[in-house]
Structure 1
């Protein structure tokens, strides 16, 4: 039986605990939470499984060595001493990503370049030929991480970021990251137990992720290629075994997922993305202005949306826009648990509802609040003055 090894799953700020829970549920051992990352142990099959099934991981890294560095020459010499021919052929291609948190080393691109030079020079000296650099589709993607004077070299088993699920071919102006969308749904506690709605669906990311969560569909089933698929030791039979086992765990969803947007162009893009993910049977689309809608069913509803922040999408009167969100929820959506994410904390005050929960997240570089509003049946009885 193959021995377990350490891996590192990178994620977005605020989703570390969610990712740790995912990894434990999938069967990881020695799970430890860090900042924007979770370390864990598993075998090669589990590495394949984590890439295929983790909804809140951006990368799954496999550390191969670590050492102390104090100068640029240390980096070059110690990277060059690694037997890279174990991991790739000289006719292959490579890409290096660097993350640096150090007083001695401050320029991540330069560290990446130094690492690349060391690997290329080793192949040139040993075999007379050198691998090419391919930033888009390398045979081997390498991650170098320097924290103060501790350097860790890892193989990137994911390839391109795991948020690139493969279904989003049509993007709107301010789309939400797929990993963030999945993380928000999981943070909220929704897993398919009732109807779900995104009334400002944009490119359809939130509803697509919700459908995959409800049906337990592996999020990266449509991904073009994982990094490990071009590794020298890739075991295609083992991967197919892992994939088939994950497919057998897909389940039925017995409620409704609604997606609406007042922008017809955005809605058509959302429909295409959902179709790409083979999820169109689960999601009902409607072109509608949220502020003119009301809940159509007596059943409990989870609502989640990513309204404009007046950043990438501008709004003439953002405070009025957010007050309309609160009014619409109070007036038309009893028995609803409503969640929204925004970086506009001033406008958020205009919603006029007291949030029962607030979570700090980042939407791209924007520090944001992910907030929950509980709309009870009695909320409809609020006085008319609340809506003026």
Structure 2
């Protein structure tokens, strides 16, 4: 039996509960949400499974040491007290990522990274007269230093490259949505392959691909080339492939339509290319259609999730554009649940439909709302009368 240990999965603001839910469904123990993070317990095999499966995690950290820290010199001293031979040697390459959220540290994250790097390099230089080299691209070991108020947590990063880099996206449009956020939107909408799915402004297809992976139960990071834990001394390749096989056997075929529209031919081309890279061409249809001229052609329960233009992205007449979104949904998309994300809160007033849910999220640095509209067959009043 492998030993259980604590891990921390980081995520985007507003997706903490979604990630906690994913972890519970995967079988994590003692799941607790934090700010942009969720802590949990599991064994080595679970760490592999979490990296392959989680849709809303950015990275999975394995904490190795926590301590109180007062300033930069104190951090240097305390990092030197860690027994680094457990994790690396003087011939290893390493890199440091740091996050600082503390008033007693005037320096920025970059400086804390450099200070931490010096502490570890000096530890080996003093003991062995050789120092490990830094490699930012492909380090043998990636270390994460997180300073929150007066506490410091030092972790090994088991993921390596951010987990949003799924490995399927080669073509992007002006402002592609991050894959983790796209998966979060689909999961927040409640969609799980239980009906039709439409992204009516699909851009390079990220939301569509994440929706299809959810509908087919395909692990989020099955297309990735490597994870950081594969370079660890205790990496168990047999266990990794065993877990991968179990996950692959759980993939299913959805019985509903998953469709994307875009009015730009270039976006349609990019989306098709990315869908093909993700091996999902059998499940996703991408069409050159202007949503505002479209009507709902699929029968039955349908979920719409989209990321219309806002912020710096495209020059549009906001009032007219968002007004058309509302009109198209109301008149041409009966029996659908529509969700859209925007940072333009004024624009939402022009949709002309009542939201039944609003969720605060962030898209990069933009504060956003993810809003839900219920579009009934006939009017809401008739619906009420029938109940």
Bin of the TM-score, shorter chain as denominator length: over 0.9
Within a 5 Å distance, the mapping from 1:136-175 to structure 2 comes to 136-175=137-176
CA distance in 2, matches of 1:200, 1:50: 31
Q: Could you report, residue by residue, the CA deviation over 1:43-63 in whole angstroms, capped at 9, with x for unpaired residues?
A: 111011111001111110000
Distance 1:380 1:152 in 2: 52
- The match for 2:281 is 280
| Other-structure match for 2:373 | 373
Partner SS, residue 142 of structure 1? strand
Q: Which residue of 2 aligns with 1:385?
A: none
> Match of 2:139, SS?
coil
Matches within 5 A, 1:161-310: 161-310=162-311
Q: Does 1:91 align with 2:69?
A: no
SS of residue matched to 2:378:
helix
C-alpha distance after superposition, 1:124-159 (max 9, x if no partner)? 222232222122221111100111221110000010
Q: Which residue of 2 aligns with 1:23?
A: 23
Distance 2:247 2:127 in 1: 42
Shift of 1:381: 11
366-375 or 303-312, larger mean C-alpha shift: 303-312
Task: Output aligned runs, 1:343-382, within 5 Å.
Answer: 343-379=343-379
Q: Distance in 2 between matches of 1:46 and 1:225?
A: 17
Check the 8 A contact 1:324/1:351 in 2, yes or no.
yes
Deviation (angstroms), 1:379: 4.1
Report the counterpart of residue 103 of structure 1 in structure 2: 103
| C-alpha contact 2:173 2:267 (8 A) present in aligned 1 | yes
Q: 1:324 to 1:22 in 2, by over 3 A?
A: same
- Tell me the SS of whatever aligns to 2:38: strand
Where 1:39 maps in the other structure, the secondary structure is strand
Please tell me whether the aligned partners of residues 291 and 328 of structure 1 are also in contact (alpha carbons under 8 angstroms).
yes
Change (3 A) 1:29 1:310: closer
SS in 2 for 1:182: helix
What's 1:68 paired with? Answer: 68
Aligned to 1:334: 334
Structure 1 runs of 4+ aligned residues shifted over 3 Å read 379-382
Q: What is the alpha-carbon distance in structure 1 between the residues aligned to residue 228 and residue 272 of structure 2?
A: 29
Unpaired stretches in structure 1, ≥5 consecutive residues:
383-388
Asked if structure 1 preserves the Cα contact closer than 8 Å seen for 2:260 and 2:285, the reply is: yes
CA contact (8 A) 1:330 1:380 kept: no
Secondary structure at 1:40 match in 2? strand
TM-score by length of structure 2 reads 0.96
The structural deviation recorded for 1:108 is: 1.4
C-alpha contact 1:141 1:227 (8 A) present in aligned 2? yes
The answer to whether the Cα contact below 8 Å between 2:181 and 2:363 also exists between their aligned partners in 1 is yes
CA contact (8 A) 1:204 1:259 kept: yes
Q: Distance in 1 between matches of 2:203 and 2:132?
A: 42
8 Å CA contact retained: 1:88, 1:140: yes
**Larger displacement relative to structure 2 (212-221 or 119-128):** 119-128
What is the TM-score when the length of structure 1 is the normalising length?
0.96
Cα RMSD after superposing both structures: 1.4
Name the CA distance, whole Å, in 2 between partners of 1:45 and 1:155. Answer: 16
How big is the shift at 1:291?
0.4
Q: Distance in 1 between matches of 2:83 and 2:178?
A: 37
Q: What is the aligned partner in structure 2 of residue 386 from structure 1?
A: none
Do the aligned partners of 1:310 and 1:318 also contact (CA within 8 Å) in 2? no
Residues 174 and 313, structure 1, Cα contact 8 Å, conserved in 2? no
Alignment CA distance shift 1:21-1:381 (3 Å) = closer
How many Å separate the matches in 2 of 1:324 and 1:189?
25
Question: Is this contact kept in 2: 1:261–1:287, CA < 8 A?
Answer: yes
Q: Distance in 1 between matches of 2:345 and 2:21?
A: 29
Give the distance between the partners of 1:177 and 1:108, measured in 2 at CA.
23
CA contact (8 A) 1:343 1:367 kept: yes
**In structure 2, C-alpha distance between the alignment counterparts of 1:275 and 1:380, rounded to whole Å:** 40
The 8 Å contact of residues 80 and 123 in structure 2, kept in 1 or not, is answered as: yes
Distance 1:88 1:170 in 2: 37
User: What CA distance in whole angstroms lies between the structure 2 residues aligned with 1:208 and 1:379?
Assistant: 32
Contact preservation (8 Å) 2:202, 2:208: yes
Cα deviation for residue 380 of structure 1 reads: 11
- Per-residue deviation, 1:310: 4.2
SS in 2 for 1:202: coil
